[in-house]
Chains A and B, each alone.
Chain A
Amino acid sequence: MEEALAGHAGDAGTRGAHARPRRRASVLGVIGELLITAGIITLLYVVWQLWVGDMIYGAERNATGHELSQTWAQEYVPPAEGSDDPLTAEPVILAEPGDGEEFGVLHVPRFGPDYAVPMAGGVTRPTTLDPIGIGHYPGTSMPGEAGNFAVAAHRTTFGAPFNRIAELRVGDAVVAETADGWYTYRFRTLEYVTPDQVEVLLPVPQALDVPAGTQYITMTSCSPMFSMAERIVAYGVFESFTPRSAGAPASLTLEVA
C-alpha cells in the first residue's frame, strides 16, 4: 500500500505530461526509496514475528493435530470383547519415537478449546520444534510411563505452542493423545530455572537418585519471552489413562475454575 502511495506521489509531478522529458531519478532519490522500503519491510517483519507468524503457524499446528486425532479415530479397531474396564485400564506405553517422528497430540484446554499440537521425538529445532511443534526429550518416559514425560516447545515464534504456559492453573488438564487413547495429566506448579538445570528432567523432577514411581509431565520453554536467559518449567502429575474404546475423556474440556 505504502509503495503504491509512494509511486503515486512520485508520479504526481509528471502526471499527464508525457510529452515533457521525464526527470531522471537521482541516485540519492533511489537510495532514499530503498531505505524507506527497508524500513517498511523491517516493521512488517516485527509485525510478523509478534503476531502474524504465530497465527499462521499456530493454525497449521492445530490443523495437523486435529488431523492426527481423526486419523487415529478412523484407524481404531475396537477389541473383540469389551472386557476392558475403561476406568482401570492400564496405560499403554509407547516405544520411544525416533527423531522427528510424530507420536501424539497435546491438548491443553487452558490454551484454547482448539488447541491440539503434534508431539514428536527429539528436541532439536530443525527436526522437531520448528517444523512440528512439541518435542519429547529423548531418554525420558513416554506418556503414562512411570517417571518423567518431558517435552519442550517454543513460547514465541513458530506457532508458539507453549505461549500461554504461564497461565496454567493448578489442576488444569494437560492431555496427551496417542493412537491408543488419552493420558490425562494435571498441572501442579511452575518453576523458573537456568538453562543448565537438567535435573528438571529426572524421573522425579529435581530429585537426584530417586527411582521412578509416579508419572510426571514436565514442559519446558524459554523465559522470559524472546529470551534465552532462563527456562520456564511446568510440572504435572498423571491422573488417568482413557483407552480409545472409552471415548474422549471429560478432561479435554476446560473446567472453569
Chain B
Amino acid sequence: MYAALWHVLPGPWWLRLFILLVLIAAALYGLVFYAFPWVSQFVNPQEVTVQ
C-alpha cells in the first residue's frame, strides 16, 4: 500500500519524500485537532460533577 503510494508520487526521491512528509503532517494535524478530540468523548467518558 505504502509502496504503491511511493510509486504513484511524482518526481525524484527527495520530492516524493517531501510530499510524503507533508501528507503525514496533514494527517497528524487532522488527527490531533479533529479526530482525537471527537474520539475522546467516547473513549474516555469523564464526569467531574456531583449530581
Q: Are B46 and A228 in contact (CB under 8 A)?
A: yes
Q: Are A33 and B2 in contact (CB under 8 A)?
A: yes
B1-18 vs A, Cβ < 8 Å mask (1 yes, 0 no): 111111100000000010
Q: Are B50 and A231 in contact (CB under 8 A)?
A: yes
Interface residues of B (CB under 8 A from A): 1-7, 17, 20-21, 24, 28, 31-33, 36-37, 39-41, 43-51
State which residues 211-246 of A face B: CB under 8 Å: 220-222, 226, 228, 231, 233
Q: Are A157 and B46 in contact (CB under 8 A)?
A: yes
Residue of A30, A48, A156, A198 near B50 (CB, 8 A) is A198
Q: Are B48 and A162 in contact (CB under 8 A)?
A: yes
Q: Are A197 and B40 in contact (CB under 8 A)?
A: no
* Contacting residues, chain B, for A70 (C-beta < 8 A): none
Query: A32: shortest Cβ distance to chain B, in Å?
Result: 9
State which residues 104-150 of A face B: CB under 8 Å: 123, 125, 129-130, 135, 137
A200 at the interface (CB under 8 A from B): yes
Query: A166: shortest Cβ distance to chain B, in Å?
Result: 14
How far apart are the CA atoms of A69 and B36 in the complex, in Å?
30
Instruction: Count A/B pairs, Cβ under 8 Å.
Output: 103
Chain B residue at minimal CB-CB distance from A8 = B6
Interface residues of A (CB under 8 A from B): 1, 3-4, 6-8, 10-11, 14, 22, 25, 29-30, 33-34, 41, 44-45, 48-49, 52-53, 56, 123, 125, 129-130, 135, 137, 152-158, 162, 193, 195-198, 200-201, 220-222, 226, 228, 231, 233
How far apart are the CA atoms of A135 and B21 in the complex, in Å?
40
* Contacting residues, chain B, for A162 (C-beta < 8 A): 48
The residue in B2, B21, B37, B45 that gathers the most chain A C-beta atoms within 10 A of its C-beta is B2
* Contacting residues, chain B, for A155 (C-beta < 8 A): 48
The residue in B4, B47, B50 that gathers the most chain A C-beta atoms within 10 A of its C-beta is B50
Q: Are B20 and A52 in contact (CB under 8 A)?
A: no
